[in-house]
Structure 1
Amino acid sequence: MQNIRRRVFAAGVALTAVTALTACSSDSSTGAGGSGDLRIGYMIWDTSVPFYSNLISKANETADSMGADLDIQSGNGDLAQQIAVVQQFVTQQYDMILISPSDPKGIVPAIRQANAANIPVMAVNTKADTSDGAELVTYVGVDDVEFGHHQGELLAKALDGKGTVAYITGKLGTSAQIERQQGFEDALGDYPGIKVVATQAADWDNAKALAVTQDFLSKYPSGQLDAVVGQGPESVTGAKYAFGNNRKDVKFIIGDYPADVRDAIVEGSVYGTVDQDPAPQGVNAITYAVNWLQGKESEVPRPEAYIDMPVVTQENVDDVPAAWGE
């Protein structure tokens, strides 16, 4: 496979293919380090997830402006492939490796290999476990526990502290899913009148979120369900379905703020959301990576570099542009 400078492509690799991949990408004229500048490899667990489009765009723009070579590869949602991509970056002796893993624990062996090779590693958007010896420069993204807490408080406001709720999570095992659910449940501890009657994963997928919502609405007819909370923006598909099928009795709380979620808040099919903007995550990740490699360690927030998460409802939607999409 040929690495193309600053181009996102699917890393069709397996654990046993690292040597072959390295041999195929040894031509520095087309590889990530062709200009001789700082070389940064970035593994994203699945670049096809719409959220990552703006993060990738801003990361590329920032790398260009700072004179760094950025090589972004997709793990295609497969842990073995994600590990293989990181191993490839280690073998190619990149200056720094950025990771957005799907499994915070499963990626640890690859991080350790980078640590052993003295290559700094930074987590972006999704976290990696550091309790078992893996070392990270920092984590760039949102505080997902606080994200979930914001959703819980928004739900309590929407229901005036009392009602029945169905909960749609993202991909099970990702740090965002785990921590958002933790924060959500912590928040609801202050509202004993709110009961979660069903929980189902939708894997950050629009079609799955719609199917899960349809199942909830069928199982809980009018009068038996007061709200649906979705960890990610994909739940907007179900909100629009409910709105168009006369289930306006169910309030929807969404996570993230793309254009279709903003439109849904305006029309009234979504009560509100927590805005996680991908753009500053891309900008900050590259900025901190370059600063670290240039010896400006004091300019890199550690152990986390959190971004703000405004809550958006009809009260302020006119003042808050969508984080991505058209």
Structure 2
Amino acid sequence: MTMKFIKTALAASTMLATVAVSAAPALADKAHPVIGYTVYDMSSFISLGKAGAESIAKANGASVLWNSGHMDVNAQISQIQQFINQKVDAIIIAPVNSSTLGPQVDAAKAAGIPVVIVNLTATPAVMAEAVSYVGPDDVKAGEQEAQHLVDAIGHKGNIVVIQGPLGQSGEIDRTKGIKNILAKYPDVKLLAIQPGNWARNQAYSVMQDWLSRYGNQITGVVSENDDMAIGAIQAMREKSVKIPVTAVDGIKDGMRAVRDGTLLETNLQDGPLELGMAVQVAINHIQGKDVPKQAMFVMPEVTKDNVAHYYGQLYGDPAKFESDLPALINKNLADGHYAEQ
């Protein structure tokens, strides 16, 4: 009877152990995380970066649920809530508007879901709640493009500035950087400043209006991204006008414009590197690894002198760049040189 009792007890103990293991969070949940990714819109920069985000997810055995807010704050709020309801392992947000999302980030935190902010900053409260920010030093980018233009026009003249969407951190910080430089040069006048909302067609219309209104008074254009610069250049081309333009992002069309001389300079914000690094940071955090509270990218300036190098890296052999990206991102996270490539 005693031996029979012992065998029965051992069997019961084994069954309980099996139940306990299966009831605990499976290791595979950490090894194959699901990440919700919501972006402000599918601009050229974001579209390019999406491939990098998916490449890093694949390299880590993770999956990405991708959504665009299409510049609608309420749509992005709904997407974040949907991710919370789906119980994803992490949420990555490129905010539509820098002043929103506090309640949604709080809700994610209450649900035990870490949040990574990418590309555009949010309010200080949201940034404090986020496990990390991965994105550009936009003040520095604005300073670099403005300085390059001011130098090109001999530190005197009238310039116009095409902004991103008002209220987004990219617009706020790049505008701040541009104005930091203009404050140093009293002979450079800010003739007009207006949003083009990161869009070629809107910047085209803005530039058409300025050319009609100011004509040959305009001696330089600072565009806060490449897409808007290309729209402005098209408007100038149709009027047979050539005015120096500087920009930010380093998308394919932007680099081609630098190469052919229609765009004076751009600042390389590597979309695959940046949006991919946000995925790696989220995965590292999920798996209990240390992550930087802030991975700030200082963008390299791209001019006619070095455009062949950067264009070749990103667009000459995209498959190779994508295959090298996981190792590059891990190296950059380890040494803290986040924008290195």
Unmatched tracts of structure 1, length 5 or more: 1-32
Give matches, 1:102-251, under 5 Å.
Answer: 102-131=96-125, 135-222=129-216, 224-234=217-227, 235-243=229-237, 245-248=239-242, 250-251=243-244
Please give the alpha-carbon distance, in whole angstroms, between the structure 2 residues aligned to 1:225 and 1:54. 32
Q: Which amino acid aligns with 1:116?
A: A
Q: Which amino acid aligns with 2:72?
A: D
Q: Tell me, yes or no, if the aligned pair for 1:58 and 1:283 is still in contact at 8 Å.
A: yes
Structure with the larger helix share: 2
Q: Structure 1 residue runs of 4+, over 4 Å off?
A: 33-36, 322-326
Q: Number of residue pairs matched?
A: 288
Please give the alpha-carbon distance, in whole angstroms, between the structure 1 residues aligned to 2:298 and 2:158. 29
TM-superposition CA deviations, 1:149-168 (whole Å, max 9, x none): 11121122111211110110
Larger Rg: 2
Q: Tell me, yes or no, if the aligned pair for 1:115 and 1:134 is still in contact at 8 Å.
A: no
Give matches, 1:36-51, under 5 Å.
Answer: 37-46=32-41, 48-51=42-45
Identity of aligned residues (%): 33
Please give the alpha-carbon distance, in whole angstroms, between the structure 2 residues aligned to 1:305 and 1:91. 28
Please give the alpha-carbon distance, in whole angstroms, between the structure 2 residues aligned to 1:114 and 1:105. 17
1:241 CA drift (Å): 3.5
- Which residue number corresponds to residue 329 of structure 2? none
> SS state of the match for residue 215, structure 2?
coil
1:134 CA drift (Å): 5.6
TM-superposition CA deviations, 1:289-311 (whole Å, max 9, x none): 111111112xx222x10224111
TM-superposition CA deviations, 1:173-213 (whole Å, max 9, x none): 11101111011111222222211110111111111111111
1:132 CA drift (Å): 6.7
Q: Which moved more, 1:287-296 or 1:257-266?
A: 257-266
1:35 CA drift (Å): 11
TM-superposition CA deviations, 1:197-256 (whole Å, max 9, x none): 10111111111111111111111122x1100111011221221432453312x2111222
> SS state of the match for residue 85, structure 1?
helix
- Which residue number corresponds to residue 4 of structure 1? none
Bigger RCO of structures 1 and 2 (CA < 8 A, at least 6 apart) = 2
- Which residue number corresponds to residue 253 of structure 1? 246
After TM superposition, the score normalised by the length of structure 1 is: 0.83
Which of residues 257, 260, 266 is equivalent to 2:259? 266
- Which residue number corresponds to residue 313 of structure 1? 303
1:324 CA drift (Å): 6.0
Unmatched tracts of structure 2, length 5 or more: 1-27, 319-341
